[in-house]
Structure 1
Amino acid sequence: MSQYSTPNLTLHSAQGFAYSYRRYGKKGTVPVLFLQHFRGNLDNWDPALVDAIAEEREVILVDARGVGGSGGEVPTTVRDFALDAIDFADALGITELDLFGFSHGGFVAQEFALLRPQLVRRLILAGTGPQGGREMHGWNEETRGHAYKDVQGAEDVLYLFFSPSAQSQAKGVEFVGRIYTRQDGRDVAPTLAVRDAQAAAIVEWGIRDYSKLSRLENIVQPTLVANGDDDILVPTVNSYLLAGHLPHARLLIYPDAGHGFLFQYPVEFAREVNSFLAE
């Protein structure tokens, strides 16, 4: 199975929500729960990245409540997104997992680990930042125009996720091709209501308040923090803040890369993730 062919499944939780998800990979391992970025759904996970991780781990991709094929109303706070992720994990009967949070999903992963620490073995925090970090409370006009566009296209993905260099942009074009390869069983496109609700959660999380950094000392699990060196959505300085305040973190910064570094370097990052999770 792969991200190109794994069927979409539906799970009904104790809270009464129906979650759309995909589950595949190496059975008998601690599963990795993937938490997605702003306006992303199941199809936005790069097959080159996720399939490489799935060679050594069981992977679970899930749409948040109200996103893609999942039912219900979209939350407007990171805490509620995290509570829903816990609700989903409980419905699966999982007693131990690793979290892979990208961007907005990284905010959710941090909150998940704070709310249910006994469930989390290890964390990967990619292209993300701590609550109250730097330059996270709103974007400049050009970035906002691409991020909030009603109907996004490849040009928006290339601007938001990749650095302006020719090499990075070329890798971005390859990534866009990969995520649109799947034709059968594609996920439901996120709505404008998803955009607006998630934006509210992101803006609240990003209000500068350095006192919030002290919360990170309570995330004691081994954590891999990674980003590109030129992230315009969650500025790279926030990865340094995470690594500096989490008790057991290591930091990887990829050159000539932006927010979507993990899609620019999918094989290389998957190798790092698998090595980290195998420790």
Structure 2
Amino acid sequence: MTRPALVRRLVLASSAPQGADGMHGWAPEVIDAVGNPETSPEEYLSVFFTGSPASLRAGRQTLQRIYGARSEDRDTATNWATREAQYDAVCTWGIPDHAKLQRLSGLRMPVFVANGDSDPMILPHYSHLLAGLIPQARVKIYPDSAHGFLFQHHAEFAADVDAFLGGPR
């Protein structure tokens, strides 16, 4: 928004616009899964993947890649303070404010908005709202997936992003 000439194309994955009504906090099922200091990787499955066998299989494969693929040079694991800070940010971001929503019409570059059809953290209707407020946006909702749609549908998402970024200049 501050320097739009620096961004040729923009990808927004599981994103919601600042000021959207209903974004103030997390849904109860998200709080149940990750809203306590001691959360296991398995508890993230319900937030990042649906309950279908295919989605849970993709979730377990993702957990295996995250926790079992590398033992060196790993990112620092998130902790309770990280989740508390994210929750506070979501609460602030989600204070309804029509003026902040209207700012999105100032984005003039092509924008690809993507989400899972069952994302409990960022409901898919926020993806449609984003796409409706941004003049050159297109939206894609991936089936049978949640907040981790880009892990579950990694090949399709990567191909979609590649095609989007390689589009006409």
Q: What is the TM-score with the length of structure 1 in the denominator?
A: 0.56
After the TM superposition, which parts of structure 1 deviate over 3 Å for at least 4 consecutive aligned residues? none
**Structure 1 partner of 2:72:** 184
CA apart distance, 1:154? 2.3
267-276 or 201-210, larger mean C-alpha shift: 201-210
1:151-230 paired onto structure 2 within 5 Å: 151-180=38-67, 181-230=69-118
Q: How many residue pairs get matched?
A: 166
Larger relative contact order (CA 8 Å, sep ≥ 6):
2
Whole-angstrom distance in 2 between the partners of 1:249 and 1:140? 27
Distance 1:255 1:175 in 2: 17
Hey, what does 2:148 align to over in structure 1? Answer: 260
Aligned partners of 2:109 and 2:136 also within 8 Å? yes
Who is 1:273 aligned against?
Answer: 161
Residues 135 and 234, structure 1, Cα contact 8 Å, conserved in 2: no
Gaps spanning 5+ residues in structure 2: where?
none
Give the aligned partner of residue 15 of structure 2.
128
| Corresponding residue SS for 2:9 | strand
Distance 1:132 1:231 in 2: 19
> For residues 48 and 88 of structure 2, what CA distance do their matches in structure 1 show?
21
RMSD: 1.5
Kindly, what percent of the aligned residue pairs are identical? 45
TM-score relative to the length of structure 2: 0.91
Q: Structure 1: which 5+ residue stretches go unaligned?
A: 1-113
Segment drifting more, 171-180 vs 240-249: 171-180
Amino acid of the structure 2 residue aligned with 1:175: T
User: Whose strand fraction is larger, Structure 1's or Structure 2's?
Assistant: 1
